[in-house]
Structure 1
Amino acid sequence: MEPYKNEIIAAVKVDDTKAYFLPEMAGLKPYATKISTIIDWSSEFFFKKKDKSDLKYDKINNKVIDSYPMPVNDQTWPGLMKQL
């Protein structure tokens, strides 16, 4: 990991054998410094961005899902904005 020590800004441990590192996940480099929260959700990750939008990441196909980023609002995440 030494060559990447200045680039990794976050890591997510999935299980005892797999971990993901930002920004090295496919398609996330443009968003890496804008992500504030990572939610591990079954076969996907949700990345909440500081600008109140989110990314949905397909862990199986290792890519950002095409229709993202999306705004975080009461239509896309009912009730979430009241918690932030």
Structure 2
Amino acid sequence: NVSRAFGVSKRTVYYMLRRLQDEQGIRRKFRIGRRSKLEPFKQQILALREASPDLSMQEICDALNLPVSASALIRKIHDWSRDARD
């Protein structure tokens, strides 16, 4: 992971790549990491957790029919909260 290797936030890496694109006239889309299967469900997951904080991760997966396991959901929610702090 580039952001961890250089000790900067993902936003900083993204900003630097965008500047490089503009300076060199490159029109290529950069993606940082692979896109999570949960991204399309992010708002629904966060809203459900806010409305019912006592639900287990498995119950959230079942309620929203998510394409991942409960442990993957736990890791992704942790990533989202960490990214929100950056």
Return the structure number with greater strand share.
1
TM-score by length of 2: 0.20
Q: State the TM-score, normalized to the length of structure 1.
A: 0.21
Higher helix proportion: 2
Q: Which has the higher contact order (CA 8 A, sep 6+)?
A: 2
